[in-house]
Amino acid sequence: MKVRIGAVVVEFLCDREEIRDHISHLLRYHKAGAEAAACTVRFQLDETLARNQSALDGQGAYLCRYAPNFLENATQRFYYRVLFPVLQRVCCDCAQMMVHGSLLGLEDGNSILLMGPSGGGKSTCAAAWLNGGMPLMGDDTLCIAGGRCYPLKRELHIGEDSLAKFPRLKGTRHLEPYMPGYRKLGYDWIALYPELVLEAAPLPGFIAVTAVRPDSRTSSRALTDPGQKRVLFQENASAYTPASFARAWEEIGRIPFVEIAWGSDIWEHPGMHVGYLKNLLR
């Protein structure tokens, strides 16, 4: 099973059918190619393993050992506990950088990279902007390589704890006007499946480092200090080695940064927010 991850073709060798099914589902928007693979990932079940482990084996392949409980709760658990850690290493070793954020598009072909801490409101903002007409290019995990962004996940997931900040959305039935087509996954995830699928996108026109504060007004400020921008990027990007961070920063460090705190009107007036973002790009 070969799949292109960012700019690299990875071959997955799976010891169980459930693993293959999970990978196929999670990476179903990525091209499967007949071309030669740059690297191989082998999955191996270990009945005594307390936590998944990955390492390079003697043949230069990535060996991922996983415990039986990582097959429970299906694809999300598998992604975050098994597949994601080994893909971090694959991308790093192949001169790619994995970034934690959401990528949204504009009509002119430009894009916006939305970054922030876990629970800070990236996916909440992305869902509101989708409602305002901005297409979602990728959520949660992005690869940066060769002046391009390669989304790893195309689905938007919002935790119920995030939605609880907005009284109007209390109870998932109130989501339908904002997120038509959502469905529940597991205990606390709601997923929106976007129609737009891109193999790759250009580097964003600007980076929005965001937080959602429902008790405050929307505000923003441009970040011009290079040192401050670098720290913010490093805090919100998954930098697994100094070398991989340096490569990513070389590509992305010249992009304008904007720090934004979204207020309670983010769901009520998504079109206004989209217009606000477009103005920031001018």
Q: Write the burial class of residue 136 (CB in 10 Å: 0-12 exposed, 13-18 middle, 19+ buried).
A: buried
Q: How far apart are CA 35 and CA 142, in angstroms?
A: 23
- Helix (H/G/I), strand (E/B), else coil: 150: strand
Q: Give the C-alpha distances (Å, rounded to integers) separating 134 from 49, 140, 255.
A: 43, 17, 20
Average pLDDT over residues 208-228: 80
Report phi then psi at 83, rounded to 5: -70, -45
Q: Which of 234, 280, 231 is nearest to 129 (CA)?
A: 280
For 245-265, the pLDDT digits (tens) are 788 888 888 888 888 887 777
- Please list the residues that pair with 222 across neighbouring strands: 258
What does the angle CA 135 – CA 130 – CA 3 come to, to the nearest 5 degrees?
45
What pTM, to 2 d.p., does this model score?
0.81
pLDDT at position 136 is 80
For 56-77, the pLDDT digits (tens) are 876 778 998 888 776 665 667 7
CA 145 to chain centre: 15
